[in-house]
Structure 1
């Protein structure tokens, strides 16, 4: 490859640029949904209501307010005339509004003081098409001279999409120059610093192309673009940092350009490839979930990591071969990198030596503190994304909250479908009993029969609290406990029930995901290092980091500490984002473990004792691991600049996890434990050693 360095670089860069141009189209194909389990009971109820009763949740709810001193009847002619002009091609069915409605529903579409009335809009097309149609329908539903506000799924989704796009631009504008500045300080020069950033920028472009391709086969979450783009940037910068650092180390040792590139890729390049495989296995765990959102987040993250690794193993060595010693061009202080590296090696080596003098005290202290930090997690609850993902004071969020308070009928509430066990219609006594039980449930305002069709009866429970709120979730759980009368079956649906079923589904599949990650890590690390002890220790270290991270996140986002500073509303941890953080933190934790242990193993193979190997490993990797974690904190920490609480949750989670893992765990706890276990670190059963030899892993 070195002989075709220009060709390799040209092809790879050209492919990423073209891919990024094509991939930018994914921004118009994003989904706000995909967070439900399609096999859940609530999803089945949604299908039954749509197919047999013709009932589904509205996409847009238009709220019209009369001027002071007037009523909704006074603004009726203007609103009706405007609604008559709405493009019918965008609608799935005619608009239902107060002025054209008849029967009991009419009074439900008007406020008690007659100052406000509603129009309910059902939009045609797939989910992404319905969201896209909102921008066309918004001006058509707005009545000149009449206060108009829009709420509903499409309005919230459109606002979240806009916020997400703004967040990505802000994050890129902040993270790229800041990471470049940090790398200049690390390398002491502009050229060496610019290389990882350039690879990171190419990874971001490639991630867009991967997501555009993915959108052709499944729904791509609105959060996927931000996560995949910034994860690709962060991992490419990290990988570039490791490879460029090793390359400069080889040059400083007297190697020629080609020799230095070859040696670098045989050592740091191999470690990067292995690290990427570990991260891919971690994100592959997200594919076990039935929710399309989690699958798209997982695929997007996998594509980002794979691209970061491929670019680091192709374009980066080609660029290093082209630059040669000129990688030190535009150095602001000659020898700064080498002097900084020497100081760092002395510091980290001395720290490891100090840790190994008191391994028991340090290990027990750190483990105890991390376990104490985990304790808040025991009292947490999990939830789903709703309008509170938008910041307090956001116009769309405020409209949703006012609508729910003024028009309880506007919330989805919960729906109980009653059907006979043998396909026969339920008898009247059973239906009456169920309606009474639903209406008597704590948290239910009233129970309304909304339809009878094909031997089934649908009963709507109007809830006291907003959809998906903690109180509404508790009410839905109580409704789920209602016993079905003899000969009948009860099915529970509605937005809150969908949320409850989705969270239950995530918790059900979470152990499977963890098992996939753990087994893959144990197997891969054993074949890499020939020890069964080191992989087990790596998994336990990742578990400690995760526990402490989620304990702190619970303390902040659920218990409500610091939420004023972050401008978010306290509430349950979003289950989908919890899954994503588990995959990211577990993967990065084992990633940093690999970089540290790889240097220890190199030292062992060169004849060092366990203590010497620990000191050498810490000395050689301390600076680069800390720098890598710092850079990743800067990149993923850009999520905290988002106005969306779910993105801030990820940003804070990654900052906390990286600080804990890359410093406390990796540079203090790991050396202490390796010292305590001594030669046992390198142990594996004889049968496994023979298996590894047969596979010919070196």
Structure 2
């Protein structure tokens, strides 16, 4: 990070201008992503329903309607009275926008289909449209066709996949924008009190806004290679704002701390990057690792959520490591300008440090009791996990006032034979179409399955025949999943293949694929996180402890979500009813909880490790870590809770679950886990926290830092003093620094592996420092190894009988030629 710090602050105006230009250009270009958002990508490519869909497209053409229009006859009129006006609207639809002609109650020639397209009361009728193009093109076509298909004076309702996508996009973007409109000013006011001044408080908020804008460009780029879900944008906006505030808070806090130590603005900014910047870089890596599991998902919608989250995290980190330090280097002491009260900054930091130091002291007095109580509470909150029932996205995820949801309810209740149902493909062998007798056998067998109301012949082409299965249960329910499974168990006639497809089968297969892939997604997330944590702490124990803490926090969070959302306890306060947890929301919550948990772990443990490497005992390191980061972590958690909590009141269930889950996770992790459980465990584990096997490849990296860690592990109570002032050569390129080391030998000396003796050493060491460009580029340490070994009793002292015996043995060895 040293080189990065120097590059960023060498020309701060250039760094700032370049960063702003890139972000603004990316954001302006990324505005086009708003026209590309969809709910596509929910098909498992390897599923039976996906193969069925491909066969239908290749042999017959798309059969699934994208838009369903419900026309209601006005009071005093009949459906025949409105025929001419409705059909005239059909004629306005460009043929190029349709994959097949519009089918309606007034235009179909099939009496069975005609009966299905009229309501049970006889006052409503349907028209269905199958649109040309991919999902994005179909969405744009739907938005253009709505005015054309709406008949003045005739109540018109729209539903179907394109209408569902459009409504989800509109509702979710509106809710997130409204939530962040509230979150921005509230966050700024809280930051004013937390940081003490308006200038310092504005940094995190401005970085958050730039992160959201820059994320649009990243999502636009992602949309060129894969579908981008509307929720990917929502997740990017929420995470981008929240993490930018976290990172900005950490950066500004450390910069002011360095200024208080007498550093110049440029030196303070550089030291901030080398310390807090390192934590931010590892935090971004950990968040990226947490969402990398989504890339292993079998459906592209979940992958787009992961890509969106990772883009927002990385942009927030990049801005915090470039633009923010550059501005801080320019501002210097003016970062404390416009305080809300004179001396507020210093008093606030002093009060926070005293409070968290006392809190750490209380934890250290009873670490085992605190660890058991905190762990027990979190495990108790995790118990509802045993009854989890996740589900995919459906129409019920929209608010109750949604016009599309109301239209879908009308379709379900008043048009019982016009639902999506299930599609059966009856396929012959050798490219020959199945015989009528074979098709009849399949129809008869399907009619006997539970949940099937009616089986109709739909279309034929090539070597296959399509059957439409009308269900007696509502679409996209668990009962439909059971019916799909039963239809797949049907015995096929000889030389006949039967495939089950349609939207209900696609939904069932997608849910099953996501469940199967969860172990892989978790393994990717855990493996990547462990590697990054190992690189951050150079320890075997700390990464596994961090992952364990994240899993406990995750279990408690999802347990509370199940109790509230799925089981319905207190759901009324959120304006909702009991419902399964949506898969996409679970993926986001798991990634965010895991990433934020390890994120706060890095912030806390980095300070503890920094103090430990400077010679602090375990207790002292814990107190330093908690007192220096407790205020920052708690403030960051509070601000992030406001950002995500505002989304928890969204009318869209996916956003509501995501916002509530992230808020719960942040509160639990930043308080119970990070400030109570982690310090208690660090105290209980003692020196084991820093254990690292003597593996050569595992110790590559900073030799100086590794040697310091090894020395502290060998002499835990080591202390240093400077008996003489340093001597500097005439050209000031070399300095000789004497220092004295004392400590008790309680660990291995590697190499060669001398065991602990329990004896004390008092050793004079000379460091030779070589400078280049004002920085130490080389350091050599010289000490009397023989004197140290003699003090430890490993080597005999001068003139002793043992020394004479060693000398005599050496002579005989020389004579004998050994």
- The TM-score bracket by the shorter chain reads over 0.9
Q: Secondary structure at the match of 1:332?
A: coil
Deviation at 1:394, TM superposition (A): 1.9
Which residue number in structure 1 is paired with residue 615 of structure 2? 607
Which residue number in structure 2 is paired with residue 549 of structure 1? 557
Q: Secondary structure at the match of 1:71?
A: coil
How many residue pairs were aligned?
A: 696
Which residue number in structure 2 is paired with residue 630 of structure 1? 638
Q: Does 1:105 align with 2:94?
A: no
Deviations along 1:413-437, one digit per CA (max 9) or x if unpaired, are 1122233466555565654443233
CA contact (8 A) 1:464 1:472 kept: no
Q: 1:48 aligns with which of 40, 43, 55?
A: 55
Q: 1:240 aligns with which of 225, 233, 248?
A: 248
TM-score (norm 2): 0.82
Change (3 A) 1:429 1:84: closer
Which residue number in structure 1 is paired with residue 124 of structure 2? 116
Q: Secondary structure at the match of 2:332?
A: helix
In structure 2, C-alpha distance between the alignment counterparts of 1:39 and 1:641, rounded to whole Å: 37
Equivalences for residues 189-588 of structure 1 within 5 A = 189-420=197-428, 425-426=433-434, 430-485=438-493, 487-588=495-596
TM-score (norm 1): 0.96
Deviation at 1:641, TM superposition (A): 3.6
Q: 1:26 aligns with which of 26, 33, 36?
A: 33
Q: Structure 2: which 5+ runs fail to align? A: 1-7, 706-818
CA contact (8 A) 2:120 2:415 kept: no
Could you say which structure has the higher helix fraction? 1
RMSD: 1.8
Deviation at 1:450, TM superposition (A): 2.0
Change (3 A) 1:2 1:157: same
Larger Rg: 2
Deviation at 1:527, TM superposition (A): 2.1
Q: 2:18 aligns with which of 11, 18, 27?
A: 11
Change (3 A) 1:664 1:409: same
CA contact (8 A) 2:457 2:467 kept: yes
Q: Secondary structure at the match of 2:80?
A: helix
Deviation at 1:410, TM superposition (A): 2.6
Change (3 A) 1:525 1:82: closer
Change (3 A) 1:396 1:512: same
Which residue number in structure 1 is paired with residue 731 of structure 2? none
Q: Secondary structure at the match of 2:263?
A: coil
In structure 2, C-alpha distance between the alignment counterparts of 1:241 and 1:415, rounded to whole Å: 55
Change (3 A) 1:65 1:243: same
CA contact (8 A) 1:383 1:499 kept: no
Deviation at 1:115, TM superposition (A): 1.3
In structure 2, C-alpha distance between the alignment counterparts of 1:559 and 1:638, rounded to whole Å: 22
Change (3 A) 1:548 1:430: farther
Which residue number in structure 1 is paired with residue 743 of structure 2? none
In structure 1, C-alpha distance between the alignment counterparts of 2:347 and 2:620, rounded to whole Å: 22
Change (3 A) 1:612 1:131: same
In structure 1, C-alpha distance between the alignment counterparts of 2:681 and 2:495, rounded to whole Å: 62
Which residue number in structure 2 is paired with residue 140 of structure 1? 148
Deviation at 1:78, TM superposition (A): 2.0
Equivalences for residues 583-662 of structure 1 within 5 A = 583-662=591-670
Which residue number in structure 2 is paired with residue 694 of structure 1? 700
CA contact (8 A) 1:246 1:264 kept: yes
Which residue number in structure 2 is paired with residue 38 of structure 1? 45
Q: 2:79 aligns with which of 72, 77, 85?
A: 72
Q: Structure 1: which 5+ runs fail to align? A: none
Moved more, 232-241 or 567-576: 567-576
Deviation at 1:692, TM superposition (A): 3.1
Change (3 A) 1:481 1:665: farther
Deviation at 1:92, TM superposition (A): 2.2
In structure 2, C-alpha distance between the alignment counterparts of 1:445 and 1:11, rounded to whole Å: 65
In structure 1, C-alpha distance between the alignment counterparts of 2:226 and 2:131, rounded to whole Å: 21
In structure 2, C-alpha distance between the alignment counterparts of 1:482 and 1:568, rounded to whole Å: 39
In structure 1, C-alpha distance between the alignment counterparts of 2:52 and 2:416, rounded to whole Å: 21
Deviations along 1:513-562, one digit per CA (max 9) or x if unpaired, are 21122112222212221211111011011111111111111122221223
Deviation at 1:486, TM superposition (A): 5.1
